[in-house]
Chain A
Amino acid sequence: MTNNQITNQDVQHLAKLVSLPLTDDRLNKLVDQITTTFEYINTLQAIDTDSTQETNQVTGLENIMREDVVEESRMLSQNQALQNAKHTHNGYFLVPAILE
């Protein structure tokens, strides 16, 4: 769709993929905003990059390793790990059911 209009269905599909609930009002606004933004971004297609390599990062560093050891001072207790969870049960995180 690099040259096509983005549709309501496209945005609804995207919202589902990234697990974002959309109101109708927000959906309509987002369709317009995403279309405008892509119009700007699509100007890049005019730049020739056929013979250009990709740059994935700019640190100049490679293969930064550390010893694979447990740092006990940074370990969380079970209570600490659960401290910020909204829903817990018997010392576990409670997650939404994914099967009907």
Chain B
Amino acid sequence: MLLDLSLQKLLAGYRDNSIDPVEVIREAYHNIENHSQELNTLITVRDQAETLAYLKTLNKTLPLYGLPYVLKDSYATTELRTTSASKILDDYLSLYDATVHRKLKDAGAILIAKGNQDAWGHGASTENSDYGMGKNPWDPTRVVGGSSGGPAAAVITRMCAFAIGEDTGGSIRNPAAWNNISGLRVTYGRVSRYGCISYASSMDTVGPFAKSVEDLALVLSVIAGVDKYDATTSPKPVDDYLASLATSPVKLRIGIAPEMFADRLDSEIATNTKDFADKLASLGHELVDISLPVAKMSLATYYILAPSETSSNLGRYDGIRYGGTRALFTQESMRRIMMGSYELSSGYYDAYYRKALKIRTLLLQTFQDAFSKCDVILLPENPVMPPLLGDLIGDPLANMLADLYNTPVSLVGSPSLVIPSGFHKNGLPIGVQLVGPKFSESLLLALGHQYQQNTAWHTRSPQL
């Protein structure tokens, strides 16, 4: 399949006329037609003839010329409706483009579909969608992960060349691991969120999904950077992420915290993560013990801050200027809105919201201490393998626990790279997280690329 090729190989093929971008786009549509409905991967698909006509208008020298991509349906786009997987926005057509979409368009990439997700980002499974529960391409009786489940599944099933997700408390990392693709949660502020429907603004980040770390680096180099429409974007210069892959990192100190391999972690995932560490050691890196006793307190803190912020952000959906009525929120979203409102209310603000803000400070200190002893922290990604459809959505605590290793990173604003690291005996893929200090994307990508140059887990895709 042409879509198995890396983005750089596709682009090189377009330049020397050995690959026709029309064929690649047709292949993506072919895979969409064969699998999207069955797996509930995509919410809205652009007309193929329109896509091909648009391709003809593009300048062939553009850096991402002709590459078809999928956006999570949380991004405002003028070409396709933006639902955030909620019937409230079923017929909402944005009058402007999200910055990430604008940048990709300007670079010559082509939006071909909007991916399924948990409505408003509320979930870790894509079960909380008004457009059908997202199914895992490796086993359709199980969840795809989430909240950015659709875009992740679209990458592994080759419905696109790459995709864009959104990660607040693990929404890129969790489905990347459960689909056997690479995903990057960026440093908070590295990529503009303008035009991204807000979930929890103090943690929301925009990041790429791709078949490899090399592809992530290329996409990140296009979407990163300061944006005058998002005041939280950093003015720090954007690194040359592709160039940073050229030199393998030498003798990094890889921090491993025993607390992160405790009771709730699936034993095969624990073994897999330790095997991953051994592989890094065999590549010349040094494994160091660190202390990071933060998983449980981070999850509790996250479930104060995220509902509080979402109760405020979703207050705008009043059905007046756009969208349907608030009765259309799902039970999952209603619970989060009500809990957040409670945690912010007079009398409980100190016990909940202010308490969470203080614990965030403790977490920052703990991570700062950890990064004084190591360059990169290795964490498991998901504590469990993908549950059966319907299991998480009925059990809020289990749904929360899926993000056990994700929320600490979200709260401190660090970047985290998730890459495939092997398979469970049940045949489903496992991923790990490489976490670095803020703005260490180049380092994480270089390390992940080095691993992928020496392993082949990331090249496997499911038999469909």
Contact = CB atoms under 8 A, between A and B. Distances in A.
Contacts of B202: 56-58
B263 to A, nearest CB: 15
Contacts of A9: none
B356 A34 contact: no
A30 B331 contact: yes
Nearest to B307: A37
Interface in B292-322: 296-297, 299-301, 303-304, 311, 315, 318-322
Interface residues of B, number: 60
Contacts of B303: 37, 40-41
Interface string A47-84: 10100111111111100101000000010100011011
A44 B359 contact: yes
Nearest to B329: A20
A30 B232 contact: no
A59 B321 contact: no
A45 B350 CA distance: 11
A36 B335 CA distance: 12
Nearest to A76: B95
B371 interface: no
A33 interface: yes
Interface string B162-191: 000000000000000000000000001100
Contacts of A57: 202, 232
A40 B319 CA distance: 34
Nearest to A54: B357
B364 A33 contact: no
Nearest to A84: B322
Contact of A58 (B320, B358, B364): B364
B346 to A, nearest CB: 11
B234 A52 contact: no
Nearest to A65: B231
Contacts of A84: 91-93, 321-323
A76 to B, nearest CB: 6
A97 interface: no
What band does the interface of chain A fall in when counting residues whose beta carbon is under 8 Å from B? 35 or more
B321 A85 contact: yes
A18 B321 contact: no
A59 B397 contact: no
Given A36-B396, A41-B300, A29 B331 contact: yes
B400 A40 contact: yes
B362 to A, nearest CB: 6
B448 to A, nearest CB: 23
Nearest to A15: B338
B387 interface: no
Given A59-B188, A84-B92, 5 more contacts: A21-B327, A37-B339, A41-B300, A44-B300, A53-B358
A94 B438 CA distance: 46
A14 B338 contact: yes
B341 A85 contact: no
Contact of B352 (A14, A41, A76, A95): A41
B102 interface: no
A44 B355 contact: yes
B439 to A, nearest CB: 10
A2 interface: yes
B320 A85 contact: yes
A18 B341 contact: yes
Given A40-B300, A80-B95, A45 B357 contact: no
The 4 closest A-B pairs by CB, nearest first: A58-B413, A84-B322, A54-B357, A49-B358
B311 A18 contact: yes
